[in-house]
Amino acid sequence: MEAPRPTRFDVVHDLGRVAQSMAPQPLRVSRGEAWVAAASPVALVAVLAIAALGVTEGSPAAWGATAIAGLVLLASLVREVAERDFRGIWRWVPLPVLPFFYDRPLTLAGIAGIRQLVMALRTFSRHPRGRQSTEWLWTHPVEFLALGFAAVIGFGTLLLLLPAASTLPRGVSFVDALFTATSATCVTGLTVVDTAKAYTPFGWAVIAAVIQVGGIGVMALSTLAAVVAGKRLGLAQSGAVAASMETTAAVDAVQIVKVVVYGTLITEGIGAVILFVSFLPDLPVHAAAGYAVFHSISAFCNAGFALWTDNLSPYSGHAPVVLTVGFLIIFGGLGFLVLAELLEWIRNPARRRRPLSLHARIVLVATLVLIVGGAVLFALLEWQGAMEGLSFPEKLLNAFFQSVTTRTAGFNTVPMAGLTGATVLLFIVLMFIGASPGSTGGGIKTSTATTILLAVRAYMRGREAVEVGGRTISQPTVVRAVVLVALAATACIVGFFLLLMTQDVSFESLFFETVSAFGTVGLSIGATAEVDNSGKLVLIALMYVGRVGPLTLILLLGTTASEPVRYPEEPVALT
């Protein structure tokens, strides 16, 4: 008997089943992983709750926290061996280091708890709902950046709360750890405790790590991880990477991320070698190497953290250290797009026949003017003041360095306490302007300030178009610059107002601290050490907004909304 011929419905049905079988299926989470993920937050909460009570090392409560975390670790290890999940061997990495903290139960418990938190997040990311959340974040870069920086700050805070990270008997407080983690992630450099004395080498390593993540950028690192994992970037992801570089121009996301990562590591490596040779006469070999790497990362990322109580003042007359840190700050503050264009211009002879882009020219000219102008004004104002006692070459060297570091980094080689009022105002202006777009620095950016000045010049000349260098800056770009400056000023005013309400500190010091926090600079004339916890929280919010706010604002302003209705124009009197 001849088999019935398949109908059109049967063919379509079979093709649908084949397509369904070929579609990527969500990763399934085993029952063991689900139990471990459920137990992880419990262990972590128990550890942090006991640590928050301020129990001393060696107490029964502390050993109880260690036992809870240890049991969860043991259950995880048994589950992995039973299921032969040897691909998860990376999760066993913390185990060999735990015996070194056998006499510090809170540290042992903290490491175990943080490890369990990482495992819980990994398990959630493999769950269908976790995968949906990840995909949603990829298509919503504003939320991705905000949550990404917040996650790095939170993880850094947990690590700095570990007793192994602090030299203090009971460790640093939660607010101080949160302040330090925020300052490092937002590459600011403001400190409420002495970094050189309050933290151990492990704490310094944590600070350097979050500085590196905050400097390179959460979006760039996430894109790099996605590319390594074989994930293809869509238009939304490429646009988000471009916006994280603070540009609305079309860029190759993968290429720019490679430039960011490779350029950062190479530049920091060269700086670390020079600093290592400079520190070697004063420090042992291992200490000189660690100090060189830390300060190279801190300088290129424009963070301003130093491992001396008085910052870089001990090396105010040491030209190799001052110049190396200074040029690392400049390279980090120019912006990765400008650095990539300069590198291409140098390597490709054919590229030299054409001028640099308008963006690169504006950034380079503005940076040069601010460095030279700031150095000249600082030298005139503080020649017999903060720089008194230095030789003529040392005064020129420190005037150059303070002009460079004031806009973005926050290092200082001269005392900040005795500055004149005119110098304080000069520093506030430089800090508010900040670095360049797509860089590791903050502020309203050099190109934004230049665009505003060019627009004022065009208006005073009676021209509607903003022209410079044979090019016209588009009207939306000018509007974005005005909005950025207005919102930056609003954030500073609100933060300054809250500090004035809650702190009994001088007007000048609080205003300086406000702009320093928002501009992610890190210079201080003493107010940071005097504020209470409420003032610290205000400064934390300012640092976070100053680092994340401009990036998310660029993303929001980069999307043009449709205007179905246009109302008639009517003049408004302004003067």
pLDDT band at 269 (very low <50, low <70, confident <90, very high): very high
Closest CA to 111 of 146, 163, 153: 163
Instruction: Return the biggest CA–CA distance within the chain.
Output: 111
pLDDT band at 47 (very low <50, low <70, confident <90, very high): very low
The stretch 412-430 carries a mean pLDDT of 89
Q: What beta strand segments (E) does 410-535 contain?
A: 466-468, 471-473
For residue 470 the two structure tokens come to 């044979």
Q: Bigger pLDDT: 467 or 180?
A: 180
The stretch 64-88 carries a mean pLDDT of 57
The 10s digit of each residue's pLDDT in 117-167 is: 666 666 666 667 766 766 666 666 677 777 888 888 988 888 888 777 888
Predicted pLDDT of residue 220: 64
Residue 198 to residue 204: CA distance in whole angstroms: 10
Predicted pLDDT of residue 23: 39
The 10s digit of each residue's pLDDT in 321-346 is: 999 999 999 988 888 778 888 888 88
Predicted pLDDT of residue 231: 53
pTM for the complete prediction? 0.77
Closest CA to 268 of 238, 297, 237: 297
pLDDT at 27 over 50: no
Predicted pLDDT of residue 37: 46
Which CA distances in Å does 402 have to 190, 333, 376? Answer: 16, 14, 11
The 10s digit of each residue's pLDDT in 367-404 is: 999 999 999 999 999 988 888 888 899 999 999 999 99
The stretch 40-56 carries a mean pLDDT of 44
Q: Bigger pLDDT: 487 or 93?
A: 487
Task: Give residue for tokens 């065009």.
Answer: 458
Predicted pLDDT of residue 20: 41
Domain segments of the chain: what residues? 27-126
Please state the φ and ψ torsions of residue 466, each to the nearest 5 degrees: -95, 110
Angle at 502 between CA 500 and CA 508, to 5 degrees: 30
Percent of the chain with pLDDT over 70: 66
Residue 463 to residue 467: CA distance in whole angstroms: 9
Chain-wide mean pLDDT for the chain? Answer: 76
pLDDT at 487 over 60: yes
pLDDT band at 262 (very low <50, low <70, confident <90, very high): confident
Predicted pLDDT of residue 385: 86
pLDDT at 193 over 60: yes
pLDDT band at 38 (very low <50, low <70, confident <90, very high): very low
Residue 210 to residue 423: CA distance in whole angstroms: 32
Which CA distances in Å does 25 have to 21, 22, 84, 126, 130? Answer: 8, 9, 22, 11, 14
